[in-house]
Amino acid sequence: MLVGIPTELARGDRRVALVPDAVPPLLKKNLEVALQAGAGTDAEYPDALYAQKGATVLSSREELFAKADIVAEVSLLTTPDSVRKADLALMRKGQALIGFMNPLGAPAIIKDLAARGVTAFALELLPRITRAQSMDALSSMATCAGYKAVLIAAEALPRFLPMFMTAAGTVTPARVLVIGAGVAGLQAIATAKRLGALVHAYDVRPAVKQEVESLGGKFVELELETTTSADSGGYAKALGEEFYARQRELMHSVIAKSDVVITTAAVPGKKAPVLVTKAMVEAMPSGSVIVDLAAEQGGNCELTEAGETVVHQRVKIIGPVNLPSSVAYHASQMYSKNVTTFLLNIIKDGKLALDLDDEIVRETLVTRDGEVVNARVKELLK
């Protein structure tokens, strides 16, 4: 079987699904690897490196899809409609596709894949179990986003993050508040702390308090009922508007004291909850910065605009999109390791072997034999 690596066509995406170091492990499993020419260039992985590792470089996208039995992608299906339709036309019955597909946010696209007869695996649906950690691409990309969010905030903030004791006097450290202590939030906490900021963090899941404190952050505790705040997989659940209204009320004074607010609260397949209101923004110190990592899902801040920097009463609200792409070299390296491990889990003797008793296979498999087979996606399509 041949594993194909196409160029990512989502606007501004510099990542590549598999890096050159992923090629030898796949060859050892009796697989072949082919690369669309230039697919890794923007992530600083030139074609020559792939060739040195044993991959074949193909000149056209059409040839790659025609030859590939398995296509490994990052976000093939989040491209503009015309581009996505062109790629769907290149796919064929029995071909396998692995990558991010936004199945809970855009289930109609999964239906289109099924119509082409593609066997598709959506990595967003990977179960949060110990055995799947090395395949968890969402966590890998969240790590990149959390790290970069702090650097963006530091660049935009008109003050130092750390405390300085100088002949000109003492500079007090900036106060950073991270809302949401998932993977992105924890990485943001760690990065801000390394840069010397005074870091506070809040999450609806009280269980993460110990993780926040282990990174040097102070956990913000609000008087809220949070016993149903996480699902069985450990992801935050969407809660009622009454809960979010009370949360915003209690959060107001905390945000008003912060120089930087980094928001990371997102619920798979849902619009991001609004946690930072216009009134909260207006209560922040002049020159403060908000970096909203949920911008692509509508934003945690009422004033966020995806891909834009909004300035409101001298507070900057930054809504970055696809932050992992801004550190494409290491984002691709991490994603590649996740995909390679996933591939090796579903390949036996050089062929695709789908064991539906394996929770990893069963939960990520969204289409097969012309049908949408994932229960959560099927429910959304009703």
Q: Is residue 382 part of a domain?
A: no
Residue 381, in any domain of the structure: no
Active site residue 133: yes
Q: Which of 13, 42, 136, 203 is catalytic?
A: 136
Which tokens belong to 81?
């409609």
Tens of pLDDT, residue by residue, the chain (382 residues): 999 999 999 988 999 999 999 999 999 999 999 999 999 999 999 999 999 999 999 999 999 999 999 999 998 777 888 889 999 999 999 999 999 999 999 999 999 999 999 999 999 999 999 999 999 999 999 999 999 999 999 999 999 999 999 999 999 999 999 999 999 999 999 999 999 999 999 998 888 999 999 999 999 988 766 555 545 555 555 566 777 777 778 889 899 999 999 999 988 778 998 999 999 999 999 999 999 999 999 999 999 999 999 999 999 999 999 999 999 999 999 999 999 999 999 999 889 999 999 999 999 999 999 999 999 999 999 8
**Same domain, yes or no: 117 and 146:** no
Q: Which of 321, 346, 364 is the last residue of a domain?
A: 321
Do 223 and 287 fall into the same domain? Answer: yes
Domain that includes residue 292, residue range: 142-321
Domain boundary among 306, 321, 336: 321
Q: What angle, rounded to 10 degrees, do the helices at 183-194 and 137-156 form?
A: 40
Annotation marks residue 136 as catalytic: yes
Element (H, E) at 218: strand 218-219
Please check whether residues 199 and 307 belong to one and the same domain: yes
Asked whether residue 68 is domain-assigned, the answer is yes
The verdict on 105 and 232 lying in the same domain is no
Do 62 and 188 fall into the same domain? Answer: no
Q: Residues 52, 59, 133, 253: which is the catalytic one? A: 133
Residue 11 near residue 80 (C-beta atoms within 8 A): yes
Give the CA count within 13 Å in the CB-facing half-sphere of 301: 33
Question: Is the residue at 170 inside a domain?
Answer: yes
Q: Which two tokens stand for residue 105?
A: 């946010």
Are residues 158 and 229 located together in one domain of the fold? yes
The reply to whether 299 and 154 lie within a common domain is yes
CATH label of the domain that carries residue 43: 3.40.50.720
As for how many domains the chain has, the answer is: 2
Which of 282, 299, 321 represents a domain boundary (last residue)? 321
Whether 205 is covered by a domain: the verdict is yes
Q: Is 69 among the residues known to form the active site?
A: no
Annotated catalytic residue, options 21, 112, 139, 362: 139
- Residue pair 238/273 in contact by the 8 Å Cβ criterion: yes
* Pair 121, 160 in one domain: no
Q: Is 235 one of the catalytic residues?
A: yes
Catalytic pick from 84, 128, 159, 362? 128
Are residue 116 and residue 35 in the same domain, yes or no?
A: yes
Give Cα 45 to chain centroid, integer Å: 21
pTM attached to this predicted model: 0.92
Q: Note whether 33 and 97 are same-domain residues.
A: yes
In 3-state terms, what secondary structure has residue 265?
coil
- Annotated catalytic residue, options 69, 84, 235, 358: 235
Same domain, 228 and 90: no
The answer to whether 11 is a known catalytic residue is no
* Predicted pLDDT at 267: 82
In a domain, 131, yes or no: no
Backbone angles phi, psi at 61, to 5 degrees: -65, -40
What is the reported pLDDT for 205?
Answer: 86
| CA 184 – CA 149 distance, rounded (Å) | 9
How many beta carbons lie within 10 A of that of residue 164, not counting itself?
12
**pLDDT for res 18:** 98
Does a structural domain hold residue 135?
no
Asked whether residue 25 is assigned to any structural domain, the reply reads yes
Strands 315-318, 260-263: pairing is: unpaired
Same domain, residue pair 242 and 115: no
Please, which residues have CB within 8 angstroms of residue 139's CB and are 6 or more apart in sequence?
Answer: 133, 183
